[in-house]
Amino acid sequence: MTRITSYNILAGGYNLHEKSGRRVHQLVKIIRSTQPDVVGVVEATNPRVTQKPLVIEELAEQLGMQLVMGGDAMHSTDYQLALLTRLPVVHTKIHKRPGLFTRPLLEVRVEESNGQHLTVFVTHLSAAFSKGWAGHAIRAREVREILYITAPLREQGVPHVLLGDFNLLAPGDPFKASFLLRYVVEQDSKKQNWSLADGHPHLDSVVPPRLRFLTLLLHIIPRSMLLSSLFDAVAWFYAPRGSIALLVKAGYIDCYRHIHPRARGFTCPASAPAGRIDYIFASPSLAKHLETCYVVTKGEDMLPGADASDHLAIAAEFGVRVRSFIPSTNLNDIVAI
């Protein structure tokens, strides 16, 4: 059995507004509760913090896992990806696509306990919510590039997973936009130093400039049940979902939705879950061995997920695969299904 977890740890695991703002203890409790073999980590670093050891390095040490860092983001103020694993690392590659990816795609191949190889891709698609539909076009471009990179693996039937924070809703998934709005408004009211990048969204980061004249109304909506209901209805139709549909069309299995056809499975924001934007997608050959997938709402000692990050982690377990070989275009690679 191989256990995989996807987790956005929020701004590298730091609370920059607090003096002792390292969430190592809380993050360890959440991650360790899933007993993972592999953890895809989103927002693994904070560009404003360089003092060693980094939180991600402490997590690796306390969990007894090897750390594989992703590439530098396109912008100096952005975060990196990472992967933690207790399995032997066979191969790593950072896919940089300037002009196509906001953050490089991280690829890591590990050797499972039965000797077979599993390839893991970790991604963090662009948010760019303040750009409206243009932001969706950016995410769609990133998804198409991911599909281009992973095409050879799909064609050969190589088992692999694609996981991370997609900043996208899946077709048919519910969306409580009023919960998200209430969360953002509350975050705005708490901030005293806007120069500190704490990873939390604020109104200007999610509202397009041409709509910011509605700021006063946006503060009022969460206080009214009627306005919240209307806001939810409008947002459900407005939220783009086509990019997740591209992944499904390409054959990827949404692990959580496969196990829970009707459950909400909201992952963000953790303190007021409004939508499901964190995913683990499995290739068809691997999905046949999917045993469970779940959202991690509490960690060890019943620690609430909201105490560790603004995202809830998602975990999946895959059963043992029978060893069988298929042709590979690379003679150095023997792949199993």
- In single-letter form, the type of residue at position 227 comes to L
Instruction: Tell me: do 167 and 181 sit in the same domain.
Output: no
Note the pTM of the prediction, 2 decimals.
0.89
Taking only the tens of pLDDT, the chain with its 337 residues reads: 899 999 999 999 998 766 668 999 999 999 999 999 999 999 999 988 888 999 999 999 999 999 999 988 777 678 999 999 999 999 999 999 888 888 999 999 999 999 999 999 999 998 866 566 667 889 999 999 999 999 999 999 999 999 999 999 999 999 998 888 888 888 777 665 555 556 777 666 666 666 566 777 778 888 888 988 988 888 877 777 889 999 999 999 999 999 999 999 999 999 999 999 999 999 999 999 999 999 999 999 999 999 999 999 999 999 977 554 444 444 344 333 3
Instruction: Tell me: do 213 and 322 sit in the same domain.
Output: no
Instruction: Tell me: do 148 and 259 sit in the same domain.
Output: yes
Domain boundary among 192, 216, 238: 238
How much is the pLDDT for 131?
62
How much is the pLDDT for 250?
97
Tokens of 257: 């939705």
Instruction: Tell me: do 198 and 331 sit in the same domain.
Output: no
Tokens of 114: 């039965």
Domain boundary among 197, 222, 238: 238
How many domains, the chain? 2
Instruction: Tell me: do 22 and 43 sit in the same domain.
Output: yes
Tokens of 264: 């909400």
Q: Taking Cα atoms as reference points, which of 125, 88, 127 lies closest to residue 109?
A: 88
Q: What share of the chain is helix, strand, coil (3-state, %, to 5)?
A: 35, 25, 40
How much is the pLDDT for 192?
55
Tokens of 299: 């960690």
Residue 26's domain is classified under what CATH number? Answer: 3.60.10.10
How much is the pLDDT for 186?
82
How much is the pLDDT for 333?
43
Q: Taking Cα atoms as reference points, which of 84, 256, 271 lies closest to residue 185?
A: 271
Tokens 């592999």 locate to 38
The end-to-end CA distance of the chain, in Å, is 14
Instruction: Tell me: do 118 and 140 sit in the same domain.
Output: yes
Instruction: Tell me: do 59 and 82 sit in the same domain.
Output: yes
How much is the pLDDT for 19?
60
How much is the pLDDT for 330?
46
Contact (Cβ atoms closer than 8 angstroms) between residue 276 and residue 265: yes
CA atoms within 13 A on the CB side of 164: 28
Q: Which residues of 107-138 are buried (b: 16+ CB within 10 A; e: fewer)?
A: bbbbebeeebbbbbbbbbbbbbebebeebbeb
Instruction: Tell me: do 210 and 110 sit in the same domain.
Output: no
The string of DSSP codes covering 138-183 is HHHHHHHHHHHHHHHHHHHT--EEEEEE---PPTT----HHHHHHH
Domain boundary among 184, 209, 238: 238
How much is the pLDDT for 325?
41
C-alpha 108/C-alpha 91 separation (Å) is 6
Q: For residue 199, what are the domain limits? A: 176-238
Instruction: Tell me: do 265 and 230 sit in the same domain.
Output: no
C-alpha 54/C-alpha 50 separation (Å) is 7
Instruction: Tell me: do 38 and 148 sit in the same domain.
Output: yes
196-202 contacts at long range (C-beta below 8 A, 24 or more positions apart): 196/16, 196/17, 196/48, 197/11, 197/16, 197/46, 197/47, 197/48, 197/77, 198/11, 198/15, 198/16, 198/17, 199/10, 199/11, 199/43, 199/46, 199/79, 199/310, 200/10, 200/310, 201/127, 201/129
Instruction: Tell me: do 31 and 120 sit in the same domain.
Output: yes
Instruction: Tell me: do 255 and 192 sit in the same domain.
Output: no
